[in-house]
Amino acid sequence: MATARLRDVAERAGVSIRTVSNVVNGYAQVSEETRRRVEKAVAELGYRPNLLARNLKRGRTGLLALVVPELDVPYFSELARAVIAEARTYGYTVVIDQTDGEPDRERELIMRGASAALFDGVILSPLSLSQADLARRDGSDPLVLLGERIAESPYDHVAIDNVAAAYTATEHLLDLGRTRIAAVGDQPYDTGETAQLRTRGYRDAHAARGLAVDESLVVATPRFHRSDGAAAMAALLDRPDGPPDAVFCYNDLLALGAIRTLLTRGLRIPEDVAVVGFDDIEAGRYNTPTLTTISPDKAAIARLAVQRITGRLGDGPQQPPVELWAPHRLEIRESTAGS
């Protein structure tokens, strides 16, 4: 079969070539009925827009890049699923790359994408990009930052309120009568603003009740993996002044690692040590005990990010960069509630 062209689709759908083009390119000014007719013809004929030709003509590729530190950290793979689903509703294909949080790799990706005009937009969850790095970016394609806020950046930013979320998690443990609550996952300021915000929420929750924070219970970890949580928990259990009675971990992987250490040492959860995580990944919902956690609304994060990209690709006047906040909630499960 010869390759179907735009005009073949138009003929079959009984519409103009321009209308087919509008549908294929995801423009809004097409009635739902017409869109359905065109999409049916596209499917029947197996029509596929020539991306390279489109690229040349419109300077667009139909591709969004999602750049995350680590795909095998479930929070990012679950977020990727949400971004892919959201982008598809706008006719965009998402391609994904991971940086391992290496500054060079992150820089390379935001620069390379721009210079090669491969992507119509980039959604980036940076671990270590600085303001200076971003300022050097000369691409005009939209960039949306996820998670970590980079002060004074000229780009849109989507996040949850990390201070409020950590406050809620800590408050929950205080409400349970816990008095020695460890915070696991702190990071130095230059590479971990998100972690710093969570530590602030942890401190604020103590301060609101007039409680002093035992600084030795605020524990930094090299990364946010299960092995880091397991090691941090082991160190906490070996303290001469005895173990904490609760642990707030800055992500679920740290919490699952900490739980493994606690169970291996014969401690009961939550009776001896209550555990709260952050991210609400699926692994925590099937763990024994199931994991109490802060659940960020990943679908909302994806929706806000993709909307900012597509909005900036329109023909209207460019708006100034904004900060958008997605909701979160505390999910109480067995690791604190005990049932």
Euclidean distance between CA atoms 251 and 311, whole angstroms: 31
Closer by beta carbon to a copy of itself, 7 or else 48: 48
**Which residue from 213, 283, 330, 337 is in contact with a copy of itself, where contact means CB under 8 A?**
283
Work out the number of other CB atoms within 10 angstroms of the CB of residue 243: 18
Closer by beta carbon to a copy of itself, 205 or else 253: 253
Of 74-82, 202-210, 236-244, 322-330, the segment contacting a copy of itself by CB under 8 A is 74-82
**Are 4 and 45 within 8 A, CB to CB?**
yes
CB of 40 to a copy of itself, least distance (A): 13
What is the sign of the dihedral through the CA atoms of 284, 76, 73 and 216? negative
CB of 310 to a copy of itself, least distance (A): 19
Euclidean distance between CA atoms 45 and 13, whole angstroms: 11
Q: Burial code of 4-29, b = ≥16 C-beta within 10 A, e = fewer?
A: bebebbbebbebeeebbbbbbeeeee
Of 69-77, 125-133, 171-179, 302-310, the segment contacting a copy of itself by CB under 8 A is 69-77
**Which is nearest to 201 in space by CA: 170, 167, 227?**
167
* Peptide bond before residue 289 is cis, with ω within 30 degrees of 0: yes
User: Quick check: 216 binds a copy of itself (CB under 8 A)?
Assistant: no
Euclidean distance between CA atoms 288 and 35, whole angstroms: 48
**Which residue from 175, 263, 322, 338 is in contact with a copy of itself, where contact means CB under 8 A?**
263
User: Quick check: 205 binds a copy of itself (CB under 8 A)?
Assistant: no
**Which residue from 5, 35, 112, 265 is in contact with a copy of itself, where contact means CB under 8 A?**
112
| Interface characters, 228-247, with a copy of itself (x: CB under 8 A) | --x-----------------
**Which residue from 71, 174, 218, 313 is in contact with a copy of itself, where contact means CB under 8 A?**
71
Euclidean distance between CA atoms 197 and 178, whole angstroms: 22
DSSP-assigned beta bridge partners for residue 145: 124, 157
Of 107-115, 142-150, 163-171, 271-279, the segment contacting a copy of itself by CB under 8 A is 107-115
User: Quick check: 147 binds a copy of itself (CB under 8 A)?
Assistant: no
For the chain, the residue count is 339
Of 20-28, 66-74, 175-183, 210-218, the segment contacting a copy of itself by CB under 8 A is 66-74
Of 4-12, 62-70, 154-162, 315-323, the segment contacting a copy of itself by CB under 8 A is 62-70
Query: β-strands 218-220, 181-186: how paired?
Result: parallel
Euclidean distance between CA atoms 215 and 204, whole angstroms: 14
CB of 264 to a copy of itself, least distance (A): 8
Q: What HEC string does 11-66 produce?
A: HHHCCCHHHHHHHHCCCCCCCHHHHHHHHHHHHHHCCCCCHHHHHHHHCCCCEEEE
**Are 233 and 262 within 8 A, CB to CB?**
yes
User: Quick check: 132 binds a copy of itself (CB under 8 A)?
Assistant: no
CB of 263 to a copy of itself, least distance (A): 5
**Which residue from 15, 23, 65, 184 is in contact with a copy of itself, where contact means CB under 8 A?**
65
**Which residue from 30, 95, 164, 299 is in contact with a copy of itself, where contact means CB under 8 A?**
95
C-alpha to C-alpha distances, 212 to 17, 204, 217, 273, 305, nearest whole angstrom: 70, 10, 11, 20, 38
Residue 233 one-letter amino acid: M
User: Quick check: 176 binds a copy of itself (CB under 8 A)?
Assistant: no
**Which residue from 9, 12, 78, 137 is in contact with a copy of itself, where contact means CB under 8 A?**
78
Kindly list the residues in this chain that would bind a copy of itself in the complex (CB under 8 A). 3, 46, 48, 50-52, 55, 61, 63, 65, 70-72, 74, 77-78, 80-81, 84, 93-98, 108, 111-112, 115-118, 226, 230, 256-257, 259-260, 263-264, 282-283, 285-288
